[in-house]
Amino acid sequence: MSSHAVGIDLGGTNLKAALVHHDDGIVESVHRRTDAEQGPEHIIDSVAALAEQLIDAAPSSSVVGIGIGAPGAINWDRTTVSKPPNLPGWDSINLDAALRPRVGNLPVIVENDANVAGLGSACYGAGQEDDSFIMVTLGTGVGGAIIYQNEIFRGSTGGAAEIGHMTIDYEGPFANSGVGGAIEAYLGQEFLSQHARDRLLNHPESILHDRLGNELDQLNPRILHEAARDGDEAAQELLAWAGHKLGCALGAAVNLLDIRTIVVGGGISSAGDFILDPARKTLPKYVVPGLRDNLQIYQEQLGNEVSLLGAAQLAFDGREAHV
């Protein structure tokens, strides 16, 4: 049969899992809290339980394997997750060894969560538009993936595509990585919110003041987006500021990779064209003339599913693919 795979999104807050049919996509999904503070063994027990539940729901012997998108560094063989941020007490764990005996000896393949989103987009989402594209995931941080000729470009050690940490202003503000002027320092959720709060002081007319009252610290990208959609010029201007920065970094990435298709996903990207139109306008200005044709920025319309679909795709492709 070989028609199904289990995809798992191992996040710091939530564990999500889906049974995916190769042609039809997500058949069934389940989730539970990660409870990361209870330590790695608890998380592995939870992952095994979710996987078993989904394997039981699939037609007998139809599941080819388990794919897992995880934060942190992944080894070249895609078995082991090391030092994931937000998962305390987790040093380096071989998830294939830990899980395989508990899932009927099916192969367990792990990949960086940003790369998994890229693979999901390539196979099921906006990334189907081109066999090579740069994926940017806007969320708490700014993640990235490079899909080159339908495969994940992994670099030397599996850590490629850290587009959120490329400097676009070498004397610019610092993101958590310590890199000055990295776009995460403009587009990361906390950084964008803080910048918006500061700028709103000059925009007493913004409806955001009505909506947030004295609680400007409650401002987040979702609220900003809603205000922009409702016509608030200050909110639109703030998102355009962020989009311009995104366009600068994407320009640098296009120059280096000669990959002209960009897919933007993640939470902030629900602000859609308020960010992406300014990015589209900026992008060609930061690309060398010979590479300016056919530049495209698409928004990934799939939400979290893209990670579950990409994780399942790891299992469909097998461990040897995309390396």
Binding-site residue total for its own copies (CB under 8 A)? 44
Among 248, 275, 312, 314, binds its own copies (CB under 8 A): 248
- Does the protein bind its own copies through residue 162 (CB under 8 A)? yes
Q: Which of residues 106-145 bind its own copies (CB under 8 A)?
A: 132, 144
- Does the protein bind its own copies through residue 177 (CB under 8 A)? yes
Nearer to its own copies, 81 or 103 (CB): 81
Nearer to its own copies, 107 or 278 (CB): 278
Comparing C-alpha atoms, which of 15, 79, 20, 22 is closest to residue 49?
15
- Does the protein bind its own copies through residue 158 (CB under 8 A)? yes
Shortest reach from residue 255's CB to its own copies, in Å: 4
Q: Which residues contact 47 (CB under 8 A, 6 or more apart)?
A: 8, 10, 15, 17, 68, 95, 99
Nearer to its own copies, 233 or 258 (CB): 258
Shortest reach from residue 322's CB to its own copies, in Å: 13
Shortest reach from residue 106's CB to its own copies, in Å: 29
Among 30, 257, 295, 321, binds its own copies (CB under 8 A): 257
Q: Which of residues 182-241 bind its own copies (CB under 8 A)?
A: none
DSSP state of 154: -
Q: Which residues contact 231 (CB under 8 A, 6 or more apart)?
A: none
Q: Which stretch binds its own copies (CB under 8 A): 36-44, 114-122, 162-170, 212-220?
A: 162-170
Helix (H) or strand (E) holding 279: helix 273-282
- Does the protein bind its own copies through residue 146 (CB under 8 A)? yes
- Does the protein bind its own copies through residue 165 (CB under 8 A)? yes
CA atoms within 13 A on the CB side of 85: 6
CA atoms within 13 A on the CB side of 167: 11
- Does the protein bind its own copies through residue 256 (CB under 8 A)? yes
Rounded Cα distance between 163 and 128, Å, is 21
Long-range contacts of 192-197 (CB under 8 A, 24+ apart): 192/221, 192/224, 192/238, 192/242, 192/268, 193/219, 193/220, 193/221, 193/224, 195/238, 195/241, 196/224, 196/235, 196/238
Burial of 73 (0-12, 13-18, 19+ CB in 10 A): middle
- Does the protein bind its own copies through residue 322 (CB under 8 A)? no
Q: Which stretch binds its own copies (CB under 8 A): 24-32, 46-54, 226-234, 280-288?
A: 280-288
Rounded to the nearest 5 degrees, what angle is found at the Cα of 132, between the Cα atoms of 126 and 134? 70
CB 262 within 8 Å of CB 246: no
Shortest reach from residue 261's CB to its own copies, in Å: 8
Binding mask 285-314 for its own copies (x = CB under 8 A): xxxxxxx-----------------------
Positions that interact with its own copies (CB under 8 A):
73, 132, 144, 146, 154-163, 165-171, 177-181, 245, 248, 251-253, 255-260, 285-291
